[in-house]
Amino acid sequence: DAGVIQSPRHEVTEMGQEVTLRCKPISGHNSLFWYRQTMMRGLELLIYFNNNVPIDDSGMPEDRFSAKMPNASFSTLKIQPSEPRDSAVYFCASSFKQPGAVRDGYTFGSGTRLTVV
């Protein structure tokens, strides 16, 4: 298995532009998570999905952020319009939602480093 695949690896954009981050979870995993990592705030959970359904988006910072999971193999995180304070590393992670499987850990993608100038 290729693991969790995120694209792009790096994104530099101008303030006000729309940014779309993409994630392909591990095949068979039914939970997907979007995290944001910054020096100041550490790793923050933005939103997570179970079986493609958003369960909790309370971590999404503002209405400028939106996430979708149209099918089990694809998710997007969109920022529109982007601002310099959105600069961070965005991680996608996936897992099984089964009590026994959770001890295998949550598999993270390599992250997308977003810079908004």
Nearest-approach distance from CB 8 to another protein, in angstroms: 14
Radius of gyration of the chain (CA): 14
Nearest-approach distance from CB 81 to another protein, in angstroms: 26
**Nearer CB in complex with another protein: 44/64:** 44
**Nearer CB in complex with another protein: 17/97:** 97
Residues 59-83 as b/e (b if ≥16 CB within 10 A, e otherwise) read: ebeeeebebebeebbebebebeebe
Classify the phi-psi angles of 111: left when phi > 0, otherwise alpha if psi is within -120 to 50, otherwise beta: left
Exposed (0-12), middle (13-18) or buried (19+): which is 36, by Cβ within 10 Å? buried
Q: For binding to another protein (CB under 8 A), which residues are involved?
A: 31, 33, 35, 42-43, 45, 48, 50, 55-56, 89, 91, 93, 95, 97, 99, 102-108, 110-111, 113
**Nearer CB in complex with another protein: 70/99:** 99
Nearest-approach distance from CB 23 to another protein, in angstroms: 14
